[in-house]
């Protein structure tokens, strides 16, 4: 009965007129930025972080969550109509979705993506509601040592699953950890690594790093690589799939949802991994394997269900443990910290309306996506044709205003520009910037928990290995790192990411 009582609390929170409005704004913005290739939910959420200062905690998290899973749907629209995925997780959808559009079945492909996403989102929301409290109860037994080990495992997993060179990912994580050390010491308050600069005495703002590396860096990088966009000539007429289509898409949706729910929890982009895994599974199980790559409806239904379920499953470790599984979850944790909320299992107990309100809002948001987006296909098609060089000046101004508003300091604007250069350089060097942000977020939390564990045990570091849960998590982190460093596994990893 507790689960129904909790969901009722969530429905009362998410069902208020204000939160419904913020949920709508979130999914609408998410779809729009998913449709516009090059911007993405990470950059958008980073740019919008300053706005959350003026919002309530429930309003902010419901809107940011809506942007995230709304972008998964928007990315599939461009993948199907333009063969240009708006999101990395929509790359697989483009394979068969665009071929369906070329055959005059664009409407069926779009409705298949929408239906698959809604079903997967509904099931994933129920799974979060069922398993999050169980995981939260386990997490309440964690002490400082266990939290340090858990954060270490999350950071190593994000490092291992990051795209590109493992050495580059390791380097960006170290840079993020070092940036997180700038400012007052956790215990003594002594200034560290500020070099006498007044603007850094309180440390570097998470908002500045996020907007610079993901917002400005993404904008500048895309200006030099603005792809031509040509919408499929196929008329969008028939929207609903026929009985045969429904029969063929039913099982892939269920399998895709299961894969997404399992892999979405993994750090480093579980939604994308889930969509690729789903496509591979469907191709092997299909009675029509020759149709894949030529317009197979299973190739749209399975991956779309997987990436939507994966996007929502990523909220499980973030909401229950306070551990981000990807850069977007790190941004949402940053938004929680901005609101004065300490991420972790205590949120479920201390702020049940916030916790369950966000969960219920996911189902409401998915319903909004299903009802609103199919009739608005014409709008999204027109948005695809907007040249990127018309969009970036407004985005730059918005970023600068947001940075200045943090503390009314021009130094923050210059710092924003510096991190924009860092983000651009990382992309030019093929370094994924997400590990830097994860290191920046998790570093201070790791330091605080490590020092608390050592202080409680009078400086004895063996506590990390004498406590069973802490030891198991650390051994898991070490084993994962050793495994990926093995030549055969490392080569296989590099090949997999090159194929993506």
pLDDT band (50, 70, 90) for residue 57: confident
pLDDT band (50, 70, 90) for residue 214: confident
pLDDT confidence of residue 112: 87
pLDDT band (50, 70, 90) for residue 387: low
- Cβ neighbors of 294 (< 8 A, separation 6 or more) are 96, 99
pLDDT tens, residue by residue, 246-268: 888 889 999 989 888 877 776 55
Whether 287 has a pLDDT exceeding 80, the answer reads yes
pLDDT confidence of residue 233: 46
| Average pLDDT estimate for 417-441 | 84
pLDDT confidence of residue 229: 47
- What percent of the chain shows pLDDT beyond 70? 83
Q: What is the C-alpha R_g of the chain? A: 22
| Average pLDDT estimate for 6-21 | 89
pLDDT confidence of residue 323: 74
pLDDT confidence of residue 237: 59
pLDDT confidence of residue 380: 67
Bigger pLDDT: 493 or 61?
61
Helix (H, G, I), strand (E, B) or coil at 184: strand
pLDDT confidence of residue 385: 60
Helix (H, G, I), strand (E, B) or coil at 163: coil
- Supply the DSSP string of 97-154, one letter for each residue: HHHHHHTT-HHHHHHHHHHHHHHHHHHHHHHHHHHHHHHHHHHTT--HHHHHHHHHHH
pLDDT confidence of residue 391: 67
Which contacts (CB < 8 Å, 24+ apart) does range 99-105 have?
A: 99/293, 99/294, 99/295, 100/295, 100/297, 100/300, 101/232, 101/234, 102/232, 102/234, 102/295, 103/234, 103/295, 104/234, 104/235, 104/237, 105/234, 105/238, 105/295
Bigger pLDDT: 315 or 389?
315
pLDDT tens, residue by residue, 111-127: 888 888 888 888 888 88
Rounded to the nearest 10°, the torsion over CA 284, 285, 289, 292 is -80
* Residue where the block lists tokens 């202080």: 455
pLDDT confidence of residue 228: 46
Whether 493 has a pLDDT exceeding 80, the answer reads no
Which of the listed ranges 3-12, 59-68, 441-450 does the model predict with the highest average pLDDT? 59-68
| Average pLDDT estimate for 364-390 | 73
Whether 24 has a pLDDT exceeding 90, the answer reads yes
Whether 425 has a pLDDT exceeding 80, the answer reads yes
pLDDT band (50, 70, 90) for residue 197: confident
pLDDT tens, residue by residue, 439-489: 887 788 888 888 888 888 888 888 888 888 889 889 988 887 787 776 655
pLDDT tens, residue by residue, 326-368: 778 888 888 888 888 877 777 877 888 888 898 889 889 888 8
Domain count, the chain: 1
pLDDT band (50, 70, 90) for residue 1: very low
pLDDT band (50, 70, 90) for residue 17: very high
| Average pLDDT estimate for 423-443 | 82
pLDDT confidence of residue 259: 85
Bigger pLDDT: 393 or 300?
300
Q: Which phi and psi (to 5°) does residue 158 adopt? A: -65, -35
pLDDT confidence of residue 253: 92
Report the chain's mean pLDDT, rounded to a whole number: 79
Whether 227 has a pLDDT exceeding 60, the answer reads no
| Average pLDDT estimate for 150-157 | 80
Q: Which phi and psi (to 5°) does residue 286 adopt? A: -65, 145
Domain extent, residue 382, equals 2-499
């Amino acid at each position: 009965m507790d689960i129904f009582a909790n969901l009722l609390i969530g429905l009362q929170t998410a069902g208020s007129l204000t939160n419904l409005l913020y949920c709508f704004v979130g999914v609408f913005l998410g779809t729009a930025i998913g449709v516009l290739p090059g911007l993405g939910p990470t950059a958008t959420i980073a740019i919008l972080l300053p706005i959350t200062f003026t919002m309530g905690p429930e309003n902010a998290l419901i809107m940011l969550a809506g942007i995230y899973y709304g972008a998964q749907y928007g990315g599939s629209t461009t993948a199907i109509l333009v063969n240009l995925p708006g999101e990395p997780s929509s790359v697989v959808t483009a394979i068969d979705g665009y071929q369906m559009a070329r055959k005059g079945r664009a409407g069926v492909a779009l409705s298949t993506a929408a239906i698959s996403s809604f079903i997967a989102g509904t099931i994933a929301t129920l799974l979060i509601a069922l398993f999050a409290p169980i995981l939260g109860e386990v997490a309440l037994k964690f002490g400082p040592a266990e939290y340090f080990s858990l954060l270490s495992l999350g950071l190593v997993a994000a490092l291992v699953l990051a795209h590109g060179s493992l050495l580059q990912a390791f380097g960006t994580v170290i840079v993020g950890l070092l940036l997180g050390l700038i400012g007052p010491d956790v215990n003594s308050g002594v200034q560290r690594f500020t070099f006498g600069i007044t603007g850094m005495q309180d440390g570097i703002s998470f908002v500045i790093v996020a907007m610079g590396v993901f917002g400005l860096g993404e904008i500048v990088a895309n200006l030099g690589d603005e792809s031509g966009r040509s919408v499929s000539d196929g008329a969008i007429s028939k929207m609903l799939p026929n009985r045969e289509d429904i029969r063929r898409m039913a099982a892939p949706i269920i399998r895709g949802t299961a894969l997404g729910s399992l892999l979405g929890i993994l750090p480093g982009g579980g939604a994308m991994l889930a969509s690729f895994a789903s496509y591979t599974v469907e191709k092997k199980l299909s009675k029509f394997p020759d149709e894949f790559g030529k317009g197979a409806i299973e190739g749209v239904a399975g991956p779309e269900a997987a990436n939507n379920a994966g996007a929502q499953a990523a909220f499980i470790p973030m909401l229950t443990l306070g551990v981000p599984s990807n850069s977007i979850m790190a941004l949402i944790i940053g938004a929680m910290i901005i609101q004065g909320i300490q991420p972790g299992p205590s949120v479920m107990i201390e702020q049940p309306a916030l916790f369950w309100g966000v969960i219920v809002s996911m189902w409401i948001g998915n319903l909004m996506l299903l009802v609103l987006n199919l009739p608005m296909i014409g709008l999204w098609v027109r948005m695809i044709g907007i040249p990127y060089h018309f969009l970036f000046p407004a985005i730059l101004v918005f970023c600068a205003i947001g940075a200045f508003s943090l503390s009314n300091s021009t130094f923050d604007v210059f710092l924003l520009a510096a991190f924009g250069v860092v983000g651009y350089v990382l992309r030019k060097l093929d370094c994924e910037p997400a590990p830097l942000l994860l290191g920046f977020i998790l570093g201070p939390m790791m330091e605080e928990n490590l020092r608390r564990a050592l202080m409680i045990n009078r400086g004895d570091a063996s506590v990390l290995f004498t406590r069973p849960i802490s030891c198991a998590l650390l051994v898991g982190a070490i084993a994962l790192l050793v495994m990926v460093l093995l030549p055969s596994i490392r080569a296989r990893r590099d090949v997999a990411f090159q194929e993506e």
